[in-house]
Amino acid sequence: MAKANMNPNKNPMPTQDALVRARNFDEVALGYDEQTAIDEALRCLNCKNKPCVNGCPVNIHIPEFIEKIKEGDFEGAYQIIARSSTLPAVCGRVCPQETQCEEKCVRGIKGEPVGIGRLERFVADWHNMHSDVTPECAPANGHKVAVVGSGPSGLTCAGDLAKAGYSVTVYEALHTAGGVLVYGIPEFRLPKAIVKKEVDNLAAMGVEVVTNVIIGKTLTVDELFDMGYEAVFIGSGAGLPNFMGIPGEALNGVYSANEYLTRSNLMKAYLDNPETPIMKGGKVAVVGGGNVAMDAARTALRLGAEKVYIVYRRSMDELPARREEVEHAEEEGIEFRLLCNPVEILGYENPDDKRDPKNGFVSGIRCIRMELGEPDERGRRRPVEIPGSEFTLDVDTVIISIGTSPNPLIKSTTDGLEVNRWGGIIVTEDGATTKDGVYAGGDAVTGAATVISAMGAGKIAAKAIDEYLQNK
Amino acid sequence: MYKIVYKKVLNPTVVMMDIEAPLVAKKAQAGQFIILRVDEEGERIPLTVAGYDRDAGTVKIIFQVVGATTEKLYHKNEGEYIQDFAGPLGVPTHLDGLNEVCIVGGGVGCAIALPVAQALKERGAKVTSIIGFRNKDLLILEDEFKACSDELIVMTDDGSYGRVGNVCIPLNEMFAGGRRFDKVITIGPLVMMKFVTMATRPTGIPCDVSMNPIMIDGTGMCGGCRLTLNVDGKRVTKFACVDGPDFNGYQVDFDEAISRGGAYRSFERHSHENTCNLFKKGVE
């Protein structure tokens, strides 16, 4: 085997040129080639205590799969990842590795950690291009489980149960499977073909995916039990978008990030002559600093906006989005208005012409400058308004991206399912809800979080469901 | 895929269809809605349920051609299929405890008002229906309303059928004559519902309205269907898909809803014209 690579820096990820990609929806990051992947793999010291594995919410055997890459056995590497993760091509792209596996990497002490995420992506893409092998499933055990929602937690739970021999049906409310992976995360960060491939993989393993069924409405959780399912996993995702409660939020041209991204991603409003409309072009302000805000801002740019602002009330240090996403956004020309908070969205009103088609549309957003005061209970310094510092940004579209509240549909139609005061489903450590045989995970439990933490929850619940049904 | 098992053109722009969707048919109640897509590239549109047959497993929809999607749906025939049909969504109309109700429907909104009137009649309530249209050619569902109403008043704007004028005229006459109801339920264009609400307010009779805002998912995810209620002096944001579509008419900010309803009007007109041109080409 080749010598360890002691270069302190990761092999850079090849990307589309910033100014070119800012005007197309093709994937930004292009992925390692085989040589680069092997070179990066050789940076891994294969250390004994494997701190990276503990940093991974689904405990992928990281050094083992990297060893396989060093040997050039890419399919072998994939099989090792597949033991722990159902969606490696997805996670290799959207996981915040810098705060998980890579944060724990020993190489990160003096230099950059091993590019674990980039290697995971390489392995998954290599597998998808070269191999049609579906993961092996245990012989059918005759037990039926229903999974509610086909996002990351549902797909993971379904995959693990199918591998264990269960007959699994996934119910999806929308017309396409994938949940937030298809309606939320944009094409340029996660191509939909990859999500489809992962869903097709599950189908090949015998998982049935039923779209257009809203659990809590079309069928209730209790009816699923009547239909012969012995356990139910709820992974229904985050719910209704939060708004700020400032004047002007009902003006035309004000979107929640959920709506804006759904129009563009799920409904393909970014294509020419789409059937679902979206307001393109002009000047756009995105309010919020998370990954969803970055996705919305970068989508707006690609839809043709001449100017896109991120308006965030704290400073760059507190910005919750992944560093990589922030850097990409800056390179593409998105302007960050930090330490600013909106106080009002202004609307156009022509006093002389009530029929002016611009009436009722956004004309600007009024913000106030902030400074950081004392830390709050979570240790983040609290933003405080600077009196008299208001100013107006001239925009015609405002996208509010300040989080979501849990969806009420399942809770309101399921007796015995308890939620906390924020509306999140209450679960034990292994994902069991207060209702017998019902498990839950992902954003429906935690509120908005990451794809990988939802996958982790789906995995834990699958294990718990297996134990529950084996002991029943 | 969901089969169109029955199609009937009710007037030049309004069509009735029965769609085979057994799971939806089993659950649907008056006041709820469905989301459909006509084909693979289609947009998602909400339509309020106009009826259902639980035994046959069909759901009745009645729609007016207003844009590209409804134009495409209009051209689908019996035996053909539509891509997606999901529901029932929203909260059913509250009918409990109502003994005497006035139903006020306008235009294609009468299609949604009808199942409410029928459900009330089945429960033994006394139903007074006022239905209004622009003219005689646009009149729909008169016989059906007659069958479930103790009293039916038909209005047309131009007087070409029934009485001349808008639906508030007979409503105001009834109120002036001392008629009282447990509730007024109004379903139709936003402007009409706004005026019915204004006419009813002085009587103190509760007045419910059925909102039909722009929606994408319809399941409580996108927030596009938000509207503002004035509740005890406070402005409260609600979502028609999970909190409605029925709301207390006295609380609804209609002017805001009317403005929001027009957000994509120029887009709709443009895409409708394109679709019509495509169909014309197909005919040539």
| Domain chopping of chain A, boundaries | 18-130, 144-239+406-470, 243-403
pLDDT at B156: 96
**Residue B71 falls within a domain, yes or no?**
yes
**Residue B181 falls within a domain, yes or no?**
yes
SS (H, E, C) A89-115: HHHHHHCCHHHCHHHHCHHHCCCCCCC
Task: Show which of B191, B209, B227 is a domain's final residue.
Answer: B209
In sign, the C-alpha dihedral spanning A334, A335, A336, A342 is negative
pLDDT at A1: 58
Nearest to B223 among A211, A256, A357 (CB): A256
Same domain, yes or no: B204 and B216: no
pLDDT at B1: 93
Q: Which CATH number is A144-239+406-470 given?
A: 3.50.50.60
Number of domains in chain B: 3
Q: What is the mean pLDDT of chain B?
A: 92
**Residue B279 falls within a domain, yes or no?**
no
Chain-chain contact of A259 with B216 (C-beta, under 8 angstroms): yes
pLDDT at residue B266 greater than cutoff 90? no
Cβ pair B93, B116 in contact under 8 A: yes
User: In CATH, what number is assigned to the domain containing residue B155?
Assistant: 3.40.50.80
Q: Which residues of A touch B31 (CB under 8 A)?
A: none
Average pLDDT for runs of 10 along chain A of length 472: 86 93 92 96 94 92 96 95 88 88 93 95 94 82 96 94 96 95 94 91 93 96 97 92 94 95 88 82 94 96 95 92 92 96 94 86 96 85 93 97 87 92 92 96 89 90 96 86
Task: Show which of B89, B106, B123 is a domain's final residue.
Answer: B89
pLDDT tens digits, B203-238: 999 999 999 888 889 898 899 999 999 999 999 999
Lowest mean pLDDT among B132-136, B234-238, B279-283: B279-283
Burial of residue A350 (CB within 10 Å: 0-12, 13-18, 19+) is exposed
pLDDT at A132: 78
- Answer with the residue of higher pLDDT: B277 or A154: A154
Q: Does B85 touch chain A (CB under 8 A)?
A: yes
**Residue B142 falls within a domain, yes or no?**
yes
CATH class of A243-403: alpha beta
Q: Does B79 touch chain A (CB under 8 A)?
A: no
pLDDT at B209: 96
For chain A, which residues lie within 8 Å of any Cβ of chain B, measuring from their own Cβ? 173-175, 183, 211-214, 217-219, 237-241, 243, 245, 249-253, 255-256, 258-259, 262-263, 266-268, 273, 275-277, 357, 359-360, 407-409
Q: Which of A148, A150, A171, A175 best tests the B interface by mutation, with the highest count of B CBs <10 A?
A: A175
Per CATH, is A18-130 categorized as 1.10.1060.10?
yes
pLDDT at residue B283 greater than cutoff 60? no
Short-list A101, A124, A86, CA closest to A52: A101
pLDDT at B263: 79
Nearest to B24 among A218, A250, A407 (CB): A218
Encoded tokens for B8: 């009937």
Q: Does B87 touch chain A (CB under 8 A)?
A: yes
Where in A161-269 does DSSP place strands (E)?
Answer: 167-171, 208-210, 231-234, 240-241, 254-256
Domain span at residue B198 reads 93-209
pLDDT at residue B58 greater than cutoff 80? yes
Same domain, yes or no: B204 and B232: no
Encoded tokens for A391: 């100013």
ipTM: 0.90
Nearest to A250 among B42, B256, B266 (CB): B256
Cβ pair A253, A360 in contact under 8 A: no
pLDDT at residue B284 greater than cutoff 50? no
Q: Which of B221, B227, B275 best tests the A interface by mutation, with the highest count of A CBs <10 A?
A: B221
Q: How many CB atoms lie within 10 A of CB B100?
A: 15
Q: Which residues of B touch A178 (CB under 8 A)?
A: none
Same domain, yes or no: B173 and B221: no
pLDDT at B110: 94
Same domain, yes or no: B109 and B153: yes
pLDDT at A83: 86
Q: CA A128, CA A193: separation in Å to the nearest integer?
A: 11
Q: CA B135, CA A152: separation in Å to the nearest integer?
A: 53
**Residue B260 falls within a domain, yes or no?**
yes
Same domain, yes or no: B220 and B149: no
Contacts (Cβ under 8 Å, ≥6 apart) of A277:
A263, A269, B264, B267, B268, B271
Separation of CA A19 from chain center: 25
pLDDT at B279: 64
Same domain, yes or no: B14 and B84: yes
Same domain, yes or no: B148 and B52: no
Question: Which whole number is the average pLDDT over B181-209?
Answer: 96
Three-state DSSP at A76 gives: helix
At residue B218, what is the residue type? G
pLDDT at A95: 85
Chain-chain contact of B217 with A237 (C-beta, under 8 angstroms): no
Task: Show which of B58, B89, B120 is a domain's final residue.
Answer: B89
| Matching fold, domains A144-239+406-470 and A243-403 | yes
Nearest to B86 among A214, A258, A259 (CB): A214
Instruction: Provide the number of CB pairs (under 8 Å) joining chain A to chain B.
Output: 115
Question: Which whole number is the average pLDDT over B277-281?
Answer: 62
Instruction: Find, in chain B, the residue whose alpha carbon is nearest to that of A269.
Output: B43
| Length of chain B measured in residues | 284
Same domain, yes or no: B157 and B230: no
Q: Which helix (H) or strand (E) holds B20?
A: strand B14-20
Same domain, yes or no: B135 and B200: yes
